[in-house]
Amino acid sequence: MKKKIVVLTGAGVSAESGFATFRDQGGLWEKYPVEKVATPEGWRENPDFVNEFYNGLRHQLVEAQPNAAHKLLAQLEKDYDVVVVTQNVDNLHERAGSTKVIHLHGELMKVCSSDDPEDPRYVRELTSGHLDVLPTDKAADGSRLRPFIVWFGEAVPEIERAAAECMNADIMLIIGTSLQVYPAAGLIRYCPQHIPVYLIDPKEVATPHGYDVTVIKDIASKGMERLLKMLPRP
């Protein structure tokens, strides 16, 4: 049986693909206040503005390509049972070939009902040929389509599934996340304490006590190359 690797990824894994990050210096939050484009209140106040923001992001996303870090993570599936838990809303992991991806904060290429965002019956995936959602576009329940994104102040429906995967992990890998955004940052606490944990990030990241964390201070692609030489042989 293959050992299970649970990977928690953040914006740092997609930064090398040229896809705009939110929190870093020069990120989207500096140009677009979070309360305007990433909260239920912002949506209620000006849905057209929010809609155009995410339409623009989708156009950026289809131009971006998976980078070496995404591809190396996908290649790990040859030797390990790999589950990627991502805070990112892009689909770069899937496009690189990862087959088990849990999106904690939603998916940019999907839209849903504005009345019932979590109802899977009303979730629809967009295509590269149809990226723009119009104000007149409706979900199957008749409500206006909204981005399938978990906004600030909303529940994170996939967190329980992610926690369950962490409980069964043999190895945990954390890439490109500051471990400051909850509940995602708390997932390491669900991992067995005896397992090895690897953290890849060029910046200083505070790691929780009680875990054997090996820090690889590098960007995601270079860090993954170094990690492959350190992982226990399957």
Where in the sequence numbering do the catalytic residues fall?
105
Closest CA to 73 of 233, 191, 234, 227: 227
Give the span between the Cα atoms of 14 and 230, in whole angstroms.
Answer: 22
Contact 88, 66 (CB under 8 A): no
* Residue 109: how many other CB atoms lie within 10 Å: 21
Taking CA atoms, 86 is separated from 97, 128, 198, 212, in Å, by 15, 22, 16, 22
Give the span between the Cα atoms of 121 and 117, in whole angstroms.
Answer: 10
Pull the structure tokens for residue 7: 């990977």
* Residue 169: how many other CB atoms lie within 10 Å: 23
Q: For residue 183, say if its preceding peptide bond is cis, omega within 30 degrees of 0.
A: yes
